[in-house]
Chains A and B, each alone.
Chain A
Amino acid sequence: MTFLDYLSQEWVELVILGRISFLIVLYAVLAATAVSVLVGIALYTNRFTPESWSRTARKGSQDTLLVASALALTVPSLALFGLLQKWVGLGATITIAALVIYGIYPILRNVVAGLNAVDPAVLEAAKGVGMGAVRRMIRVQLPLAWPVILSGLRVATLILIAIHVVGGAFGTPGYPDLLVDGLAGYGTPGGLYAVVSAVIGCVVIALVFELVFLLVKRLTTPRGIRV
């Protein structure tokens, strides 16, 4: 059996698995985005430090917290999955949980960077016309930071696609499962083909996400700030 034979035989199954993988990554990215935007706004507005602190101390603590959230990325994935197993059990959940943790930093970083990059004059004008803090955030700051946030999302997605296959060792369906099966039967042609298919599948998922992001970017970037 050649690889092409394998593909023509298995492609329906591969698409179904791919859909599962795609959704796992998608859910994780969405959850990580929600968390990152909320935490990012809090970080940006310095909600984590008392107002009595000096400006430099507050800026410093903002940077420190950001670096701290980067540490999550350095935890070896196997170790993180292993730890999570205790709380969330096996299956798709554990992978989504781990991916959210890995996804937060790249997105959070860009949320804070995007908000910091908003022109102070625009903010002053927003205050000057009588926009309150919430309105300012929703109507002015987030829309202007959005392109930067979106590029954080893209990077996060690519990282998460690569990491999600680790979940195969913890009973996660989709390409993770396929990969683990393939590795188990690596000596046989079927095993090798499964591994290669999982890798190609991940690339395809990445391409699909890129297309989605292209579309989202097109649809959600305000025309006035499109480059």
Chain B
Amino acid sequence: MSEAVDSVSVDEGRGGGPRTMISLQQVSKTYPKAEAPAVRELTMDVPEGDIVMLIGPSGCGKTTTLKMMNRLIEPTGGRIVLDGDDVTDVNADELRRRIGYVIQQVGLFPHLTIAANIAVVPKMLGWDRNRTAKRVDELLHLVGMEPGQYRDRYPRQLSGGQAQRVGVARGLAADPPLMLMDEPFGAIDPITRERLQDEFAGLQQQVRKTICFVTHDLTEAVKLGDKIAVFGPGGTLEQYDTPDEVLTRPANEFVAEFVGSGAAVRRLSLLELARLELDEVVISTGGAPAGNHPVVALDDAGRPERWLSVPGTDQPPPLVTVPLTGTVYDAVDVMLDAGVPLVAVVDGDGESRGALRWQTLIGDLRAKRRRP
């Protein structure tokens, strides 16, 4: 098996590197009467179209950092550059209309309908009725809520998950290039949260916003983030890199400790099967010798049906499959579930694209390197 397997990389495939959407330059915040700064000389560039996950222990200044980006909190030092403009001293209200803002408590306006809630910013920007109404319906669709059913409801008539969907829609309403989200799914039950995360990832595929996203949850950070910013106590940025780098190469003791012992398992969900050099599978052509590769028999439709032989086993195990679009995590899940040492990877048509073997997983997967 070759080592030419890349990990997820954000900069890949973009000529000249991505544009910076928001740039924090030596930004500090010391609250009045506080002895130590809550955020200390923070310098961080967020590339356009990326989701940056801000993570770290409680009280390390994540919320403070986020709120300085839309000046809900005024920095006491440093500069903030949004899309090329220094916004450290511009009118804060106008700045905020250009930046989406979503918080854990949602904060929908209880006296306004869902449509009116979403339309708040467009209305302030002076959009006409038609355009606003169209946009509201479009956004409700986007967050998976039927406009006809929800448009005229009031916030108290929504579940927590629905309310947060509307919160996200409100943040997106005027199509801001930058979204700030402070633990948006933090107060939602785990099952709904996972669904919202998946929907959110899908939504981001469509809208391609630059997003700064505060979370407490490393799994969420790894799942959603193009980059992770790990904050340490005292408001310092300990590491700012791709999830893969943060998990495999923590910058220091603090990050290593924070990422913790689950890092190796979490990393599995970052490895997309499509990007792995999979184990070769020999398709049975009638008893031809297979060397060291597993041999599979196909059904009439050309899909893997059962293993004929698997090296290292006397009795071939039952065949299980995982889609090529999945991750190693999914593959492991399937293998553990079925109690088998290998899984066939199939593409959208159900045809075999190779296999992932337990042996390879614990042996070679460690050695995988970034594509140069």
Contacts and interface: CB of A to CB of B under 8 A. Distances in A.
B93 interface: yes
Interface string A126-140: 111111100100001
- Interface size grouping (class) on chain A: 20 to 34
Contact of A130 (B108, B111, B121, B167): B121
A191 B326 CA distance: 94
Contacts of B94: 130
B213 to A, nearest CB: 15
Contact of B97 (A119, A126, A129, A222): A129
A125 B107 contact: yes
Contacts of A132: 93
B109 interface: yes
B34 interface: no
B95 A130 contact: yes
Contact of B110 (A122, A124, A127): A122
B232 interface: no
B127 to A, nearest CB: 14
B270 to A, nearest CB: 32
A121 B111 contact: no
B72 A124 contact: yes
Nearest to B154: A224
B110 A225 contact: yes
B113 A121 contact: no
Contact of B93 (A122, A130, A143): A130
A54 to B, nearest CB: 8
A179 interface: no
A164 to B, nearest CB: 34
Interface in A132-182: 132, 135, 140, 143-144
A223 interface: yes
B111 A225 contact: yes
B103 A140 contact: no
A125 B96 contact: no
Interface of B: 70, 72, 92-97, 101, 103, 105-113, 120-121, 124, 154-156, 167, 170
Interface of A: 119, 121-132, 135, 140, 143-144, 222-225
Given A129-B120, A225-B110, 7 more contacts: A119-B105, A121-B105, A125-B167, A129-B96, A130-B93, A131-B93, A224-B110
18 contacts: A121-B107, A122-B108, A125-B101, A126-B107, A127-B72, A128-B96, A129-B96, A129-B120, A130-B92, A130-B95, A130-B124, A131-B124, A135-B124, A140-B109, A140-B111, A143-B111, A224-B155, A225-B156
